[in-house]
Structures are given as C-alpha cells and as structure tokens.
Amino acid sequence: MRVVLLLVALLLSGPVSAQTVVGDAIPQSLTGEPGDAARGRAVVANRQVGLCLLCHTGPFPEERFQGNLAPSLSGAGARWSEGQLRLRVVDAGRLNPATIMPPYYRTEGLERVARAFAGKPILSAAQVEDVVAFLMTLKE
C-alpha cells in the first residue's frame, strides 16, 4: 500500500490553517470538530456562499436552475470518504490541476484576487466541515 504523506506544513501565516494530506484525502477535521450537516446544506445551496449549485446539481428539489458543469452531488457521500471529500472541497486542484472547481480553502497562489476577497478563503474552516458533513449524508 502506498500512502503518500504530504505535510502541508506551510504554516500559512494567513487565515488558512495547515492541513495534512494523506493520499487523496485530508483525514482530519480542519477545526478538530465534526461539522453540522444542516448548516452545510445551507452553505451548499447558497449561491453567494457555497456557489456549488452554479456548477453541480444535487438533491435540492426546491432549488431551480442548477448547473450541469460538474458531477451531481447525489451519492457523493457513498462515492467518497469524508477525508476525500474534505480535500476536494479544500483544493480540488491538488488532484486535478485542470479542474474548474475553485479552491475553497486556499489563499496562496491565486492571481489578481479582488480586494474584498484578498487573503480570504471562499469558505471558513468551520464552513468546510459543515459542507463535508452534509455531503457525507448524500448516500444515494
């Protein structure tokens, strides 16, 4: 078994805490606490906060106009482990450099970020955990 242990120990001086990537996953919660799935659902559905439904569809019967640029979120919790989902939300580009998925919890290596968002990740660590907790409930 090949377990790549990548210590992202760039103790990022900014607002993003360090994460330990193991293989294609971040096994540990970014906050040390489990997320809240109900709050996570609200983040995912909110087009100004999570932005997820701009590209993904999912089990949100009340939400009109969901995007079709990315896989459906339905079944995400069955396809991936919690740690795999966490890395995909934090920075999907580490797995697929060509991805269109924004890095939700990264502030380094971005070009020309608008002043209002400079130095800030798209989601806070707690929001990432809430989203991961919600995605884990999507078993089918």
Helix/strand/coil for 78: helix
Nearer to another protein, 56 or 82 (CB): 56
Check: CB of residue 52 under 8 Å from CB of residue 73. Answer: yes
Binding of another protein at residue 47 (CB under 8 A)? Answer: yes
Q: 10 Å Cβ neighbour count for 132?
A: 28
Stretch that binds another protein, among 3-11, 77-85, 111-119, 128-136 (CB under 8 A): 111-119
Q: How far apart are CA 79 and CA 89, in angstroms?
A: 14
Binding of another protein at residue 62 (CB under 8 A)? Answer: no
Which residues bind to another protein, rule: CB under 8 A?
47, 51, 53-55, 64-69, 93, 100, 102-103, 110-117, 120, 122
